[in-house]
Structure 1
Amino acid sequence: MPLLYSFGKITVGNAMILGWRPRVEGLENIPKSGGAIFASNHLSVADELFLGATVPRHLAFWAKSDYFDGTGLRGRFNRFIMEGLGAIRVDRSGGRAALGAFDAAIPALKAGDMVVVYPEGTRSPDGKLYRGRTGAARLAVGAGVPIIPVGVIGTEKIQPIGQPYPKLVGWGKATIKFGKPIEAAGRPDDRTALRVLTDEVMAEIQKLTGQEYVSRYAPTKPQKDDDPAA
């Protein structure tokens, strides 16, 4: 686990646990070693904070390339933070550059790291669960690692869209559930197979959260934490 990430778990992570007392279920489903993808619903910016606080191992999150390429003191500081946290660099200019995130994630997964993906591609605008995009399935098959479905409940009340930081709304309002791993090694990587695997993952997430499922993609209005690996 990167040193800065460990420091963050001790400080920010413990603050999240003590301040909001999230309910956590299914920790036994998290592998003690080896790579894995956490595929989660997405209700709030706080989702990443709660996942980082509750998962005992290192989670590699995505970070836009701007945080790595900045100049001056601020640019060096941002690069130090991102590299220290073990973040995966993403170029959002599209095309081949955007696929660099996958190029970076697959070796990390094969080396035993764990990566978070939000298959909906963006935060849910209304609390419903939208159709998943196939990025998580493509990554899992490419790296030969399992997908762990994750259901997050209540974080949209702790940090609603537009709220710059989590607010104290009372203890016990957030729940994080980890489902049983879905094996992806050896599965075909054609479009149909990836869609089947993605739908399987989304069905498991829906079981964990109880959200109403919408069989279309979520609106793609840009948000600063949209998942580039969707």
Structure 2
Amino acid sequence: MKSHKAESSASWFYWTARFVCMVLFKVGWRLSVQGAENVPLSGSVIFSSNHRSYADPPLVSVSCPRPIHFLAKKELFRFRPFGWLITNLNSHPLNRKSGSGGVKEMQRLLAQRCGVLVFPEGKRHKSPGLGSAKPGVGLLAIKTKTPVVPIYIHNSDLMGYFKKLTVVYGSPISPEGFSSYQDFADRVLSEIQDLRKRFLKQ
């Protein structure tokens, strides 16, 4: 696995892949971004979004004003063009049979003051709306004392129909005062749900 430098540094491969994806999303799907001013530009931070499509990590990567690291199941790296793309967008292969390996990798990245992407639902949720929260994002935030930026991604599951894509960033949520991983994960998902409701009312 390749190593990554701390905080906001990223290779020219990252910025090249990010630029290519941004052009693709802007031209093909009229990507728009709301609330980017809510993103802390330095220090460790957890980004947490709804998850409807394999395109969600690249969407967050290109819409965020700072580099983001994320985990992806190792099977996605088998298709070399896609594997090259997500690797150069700071993706790390995850063996889902390895137990706590993913959490340890995220903790390592946060200790280096990086931004990481975690899906509170734990996996893709194909039904309309949001699924239920898993405790993983709560565990990571509370153990590392790291704020979470909630994100709502609109229409990533309908990219085949060339629907307009939107990524909405909310205000950071502090894990301070929470002891239950599940309670904090529920809070994060509730904030994403609120972002979704406000967006759909626009």
Question: Structure 2: any 5+ residue segments left out of the alignment?
Answer: 1-9
Q: CA deviation at 1:78?
A: 8.8
Which residue in the other structure is 2:168 paired with? 177
Alignment partners' CA distance in 1, 2:47 and 2:110: 11
Which residue in the other structure is 1:48 paired with? 57
Instruction: For residues 175-218 of structure 1, give each alpha carbon's deviation from its aligned partner in whole angstroms, at most 9, with x where no partner exists.
Output: 2111100012x5555xxx1111111111101001129xxxxxxx
Q: 1:135 to 1:169 in 2, by over 3 A?
A: same
Pairing 1:35–2:44 present: yes
Amino acid in the other structure paired with 2:93: R
Residue in structure 2 matching 1:197, options 178, 181, 184: 184
Aligned 1:201-212 pairs, distance under 5 A: 201-210=188-197
- Superposition TM-score, scaled by structure 1 size: 0.72
Q: 1:79 to 1:150 in 2, by over 3 A?
A: closer
Q: CA deviation at 1:18?
A: 2.9
Q: CA deviation at 1:43?
A: 1.7
SS in structure 2 at match of 1:7: helix
Question: Structure 1: any 5+ residue segments left out of the alignment?
Answer: 159-166, 212-230
Amino acid in the other structure paired with 1:90: L
Instruction: For residues 15-73 of structure 1, give each alpha carbon's deviation from its aligned partner in whole angstroms, at most 9, with x where no partner exists.
Output: 212322222111011001011111111122222222121112111121334678x8xxx
Alignment partners' CA distance in 2, 1:48 and 1:88: 12
- Superposition TM-score, scaled by structure 2 size: 0.81
Q: Share of identical aligned residues, percent?
A: 28
Alignment partners' CA distance in 2, 1:197 and 1:55: 23
Pairing 1:125–2:118 present: no
Alignment partners' CA distance in 2, 1:123 and 1:79: 18
Aligned 1:104-183 pairs, distance under 5 A: 104-158=105-159, 167=160, 169=162, 173-183=164-174
Alignment partners' CA distance in 2, 1:79 and 1:153: 24
Amino acid in the other structure paired with 1:134: P
Q: Is the 8 A contact 1:17 1:53 kept in 2?
A: no
Q: Is the 8 A contact 2:146 2:174 kept in 1?
A: yes
Which residue in the other structure is 1:226 paired with? none
Q: 1:105 to 1:20 in 2, by over 3 A?
A: same
Q: Is the 8 A contact 1:106 1:143 kept in 2?
A: yes
Alignment partners' CA distance in 2, 1:124 and 1:78: 21
Q: CA deviation at 1:91?
A: 1.7
Alignment partners' CA distance in 1, 2:162 and 2:19: 22
Pairing 1:57–2:66 present: yes
SS in structure 1 at match of 2:190: helix
Q: Is the 8 A contact 1:88 1:101 kept in 2?
A: no
Instruction: For residues 151-196 of structure 1, give each alpha carbon's deviation from its aligned partner in whole angstroms, at most 9, with x where no partner exists.
Output: 11122211xxxxxxxx3625xx122111100012x5555xxx1111
Q: 1:79 to 1:199 in 2, by over 3 A?
A: closer
SS in structure 1 at match of 2:43: coil
Which residue in the other structure is 1:12 paired with? 21
SS in structure 2 at match of 1:207: helix
RMSD: 2.6
